[in-house]
Structure 1
């Protein structure tokens, strides 16, 4: 999906691309179905989590080693991007829940990175 020399940038761009695609599909589903807007947070968390896992997987696979490192930093890079968009574009004030999102983004990305390294080595 993304081409770069850095596994972290590749993973973060992949994560961002998957979030955009997932958000577009969710908005189409919301518009053309009877789905309630009350279910939207579940879709949002699921799309972000799955995208972070896949982005971390790709970063770990491209890195070839230290999957937790490349995947975790992919999660941190994605967090910084989302935080900056929220802070600068929507004037969202930093709260304690932001730190929870940072920790979760790191952990999910790191898990994806570990899977990326281990599954790519088992297929060689």
Structure 2
């Protein structure tokens, strides 16, 4: 009776890796957005947050999501982090606007333009930090 070492066979399994800086950045941004939305929903339900404070905090969540996505995109790109981060911020912002338009038929306002500018700036800054982060 031969025994197969499961750890040895796991090393032979091919790993899926996203090599595109933009795609990986968008994926990380979506994860940060989901965590932020869950946190805001929890604070709204069980905390002392009021619905009138939600737009300000949602801008903060979008900024952090764009920052994290820009960081990942810049780190994966290895060069021109501001470019990849800014591009990610714009794409992320446009995706959020598209989803909000399709879900609730909301239009373009000063708040949406503010969110686009914020995601552009935060994504660009995250890309700058990501390029300069040391690879381990």
CA contact (8 A) 1:15 1:51 kept: yes
**Cα deviation code 1:3-29 (max 9, x no counterpart):** 522111111121111111111121112
Query: Cα offset for 1:76?
Result: 1.2
Work out which of the two has the higher radius of gyration on C-alpha atoms and give 1 or 2. Answer: 2
- Equivalent residue number for residue 114 of structure 1: 128
1:37 maps to 2:51? yes
Runs (5+) with no aligned partner, structure 2: 1-16
| 17-26 or 31-40, larger mean C-alpha shift | 31-40
1:83 and 1:37 map into 2 onto residues whose CA distance is 20
Note the aligned Cα RMSD (angstroms). 1.8
CA contact (8 A) 1:56 1:110 kept: yes
Structural mapping, 1:1-124, within 5 Å: 3-120=17-134
Query: Cα offset for 1:92?
Result: 1.3
TM-score norm. by structure 2 comes to 0.78
CA contact (8 A) 1:8 1:77 kept: no
TM-score norm. by structure 1 comes to 0.85
Bigger proportion of residues as helix: 1
CA contact (8 A) 2:18 2:24 kept: yes
Q: What is the aligned length?
A: 120
Runs (5+) with no aligned partner, structure 1: none
